């Protein structure tokens, strides 16, 4: 009898949810009672991800005060009023289903590299100030795209460009970095680093410049873990994977800065300060302050859980008890965390507010405004700012006091400014 009642109840809920989604897609008015059920059933994320919903009805629904308590949407936020605009990149061919791309700057120009290894540029002024947008100009290169799986990151210092990528040879994924002198006409690349380890699921690859013991080099994040089947490579000093590495520019000597990392998709460096944002498994995305020689626990400890519920006890929860370094913050519900970048003081006008960052997200489709304490040992607050697209990369353009976002679902560049 109880089983029969459960089946009837389940069928009723299924019909109700189907009816609600049908009404939303058709753009019909939704009664307050239905909105109440939506809140009870907690299907906001389903609503946000329905591409065919009429925008006005969607925004009316998710902004309703009785549906979401104390949530603000652009251009409003709790600390800053922000203006978001999108520049659709129609002049660049990108046939990948995942239209990810990365951004950097060089000599007042925006540099863009696609997931397929094609390079483009345009002046910041023409992109950000002209009412009639200018097309991106292609840069020729001799980058070896044979067996290219995908680009992982781009980094440009005062004269060189670095590209991290994955090559797929047979069933083996090879982590590789190329470098070359930056030239707007043609970039001649040379191999800077290549792993001699075979990977199955290589990701990460973020790069920044860093000085280690008076040796200037490239700081890079590495990852290779099959979901729910992690290897011990992040704990193995003979492996490059699951690490933050320092590669000396001149000698190419490799030093392990820290280990026990899963998939570090964001990297910030300021002198001796290193911050990373790191994907957990199902849940457990982390923000970490990196100490040289530190061990951050993966794959032993994580506040996330396996995707397979049968392996629920796979990861230990207390890092410190196992002599690992605890994350500064862990998103127990994953946001698919990506890049982290500091917000300069002239971007906002809030007295005595320091150490504020943007953290971007993929599946979370949001920016997170994050403030650290003075020692970067804890987080004071986090505010979620819903953007509505996967944000792969974020950079700051100083001369225009503007942040650029790589929005990969519409293959667009988003611009974030403070509303004056």
* pLDDT higher than 90, residue 66: no
Partner residues linked to 123 by β-bridges: 109
| Residue (of 335, 377, 333) closest to 358 by Cα position | 335
Give, for 112, the enclosing helix (H) or strand (E): strand 109-114
* pLDDT higher than 50, residue 79: yes
Q: What percent of the chain is predicted at pLDDT more than 70?
A: 82
Three-state SS across 324-338?
CCCCCEEECCCCCEE
Over residues 262-288, the pLDDT tens digits come to 999 999 999 999 999 999 998 899 999
- Higher pLDDT, residue 295 or 3: 295
| Residue (of 346, 329, 218, 343) closest to 276 by Cα position | 329
* pLDDT higher than 60, residue 34: no
* pLDDT band of 53, cuts 50, 70, 90: very low
- The average pLDDT across 333-355 equals 88
Q: How many CA atoms lie within 13 A of 327 on its CB side?
A: 24
pLDDT of residue 146: 84
Predicted model pTM: 0.83
* pLDDT band of 47, cuts 50, 70, 90: very low
- The average pLDDT across 77-103 equals 79
Over residues 147-196, the pLDDT tens digits come to 899 999 999 998 899 999 999 988 899 999 999 999 999 999 999 999 99
Over residues 203-225, the pLDDT tens digits come to 999 999 999 999 999 999 999 98
Over residues 101-113, the pLDDT tens digits come to 999 999 999 999 9
Cβ atoms within 10 A of the Cβ of 335, count?
20
Give yes or no for a contact between 261 and 279, defined as CB atoms under 8 angstroms apart: no
pLDDT of residue 37: 40
List the structure tokens of 210.
Answer: 């860093």
* Alpha-carbon gap, residue 100 to 153, rounded angstroms: 10
Cβ atoms within 10 A of the Cβ of 177, count?
22
Over residues 359-399, the pLDDT tens digits come to 999 998 999 999 999 999 999 999 999 898 999 999 999 99
Pairing of strands 294-295, 137-141: unpaired
* pLDDT band of 92, cuts 50, 70, 90: confident
pLDDT of residue 43: 43
Distance, C-alpha 103 to centroid of its chain: 13
pLDDT of residue 36: 42
* Alpha-carbon gap, residue 86 to 337, rounded angstroms: 21
CATH number among 2.120.10.30, 2.60.120.620, 1.10.3720.10, 3.40.50.300, domain 82-418: 2.120.10.30
| Residue (of 214, 148, 222, 142) closest to 179 by Cα position | 142
- The average pLDDT across 116-123 equals 94
Q: Per-domain residue ranges for the chain? A: 2-63, 82-418
Query: What mean pLDDT is reported for the chain?
Result: 85
Cβ atoms within 10 A of the Cβ of 388, count?
20
């Amino acid at each position: 009898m109880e089983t029969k009642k459960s089946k009837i109840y389940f069928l009723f809920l299924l019909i109700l949810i189907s009816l609600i989604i049908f009404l939303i897609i058709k753009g019909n008015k939704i009664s307050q009672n239905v909105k109440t059920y939506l809140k009870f059933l907690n299907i906001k994320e389903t609503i946000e991800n329905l591409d065919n919903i009429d925008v006005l009805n969607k925004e009316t629904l998710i902004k309703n005060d009785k549906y979401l308590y104390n949530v603000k949407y652009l251009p409003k936020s709790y600390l800053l009023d922000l203006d978001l605009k999108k520049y659709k990149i129609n002049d660049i061919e990108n046939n990948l289903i995942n239209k990810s791309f990365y951004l950097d700057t060089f000599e007042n120009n925006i540099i863009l590299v696609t997931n397929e290894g094609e390079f483009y540029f345009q002046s910041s002024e023409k992109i950000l100030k002209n009412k009639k947008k200018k097309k991106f100009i292609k840069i020729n290169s001799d980058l070896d795209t044979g067996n290219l799986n995908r680009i992982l990151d781009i980094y440009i210092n005062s004269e060189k460009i670095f590209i991290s990528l994955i090559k797929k040879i047979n069933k083996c994924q090879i982590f590789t970095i190329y470098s070359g002198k930056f030239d707007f006409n043609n970039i001649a690349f040379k191999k800077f680093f290549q792993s001699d380890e075979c990977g199955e699921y290589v990701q990460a690859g973020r790069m920044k410049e860093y000085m280690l013991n008076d040796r200037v080099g490239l700081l890079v994040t590495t990852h290779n873990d099959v979901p729910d089947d992690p290897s011990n490579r992040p704990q193995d000093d003979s492996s490059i994977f699951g690490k933050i590495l320092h590669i000396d520019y001149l000698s190419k000597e490799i030093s392990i800065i820290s280990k026990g990392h899963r998939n570090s998709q964001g990297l910030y460096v300021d002198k001796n300060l290193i911050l990373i944002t790191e994907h957990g498994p199902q849940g457990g995305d982390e923000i970490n302050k990196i100490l040289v020689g530190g061990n951050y626990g993966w794959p032993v400890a994580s506040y996330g859980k396996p995707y397979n519920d049968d392996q629920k006890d796979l990861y230990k929860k207390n890092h410190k008890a196992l002599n690992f370094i605890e994350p500064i913050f862990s998103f127990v519900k994953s946001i698919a965390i990506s890049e982290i970048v500091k917000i300069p003081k002239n971007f906002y006008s809030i007295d005595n507010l320091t150490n504020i960052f943007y953290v971007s997200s993929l599946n979370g489709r949001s920016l997170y405004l994050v403030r650290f304490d003075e020692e970067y040992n804890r987080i004071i607050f986090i505010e979620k700012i819903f953007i509505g697209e996967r944000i792969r990369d974020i950079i700051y353009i100083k001369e225009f006091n503007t942040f650029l976002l790589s929005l990969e679902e519409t293959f667009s560049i988003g611009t974030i400014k403070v509303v004056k």
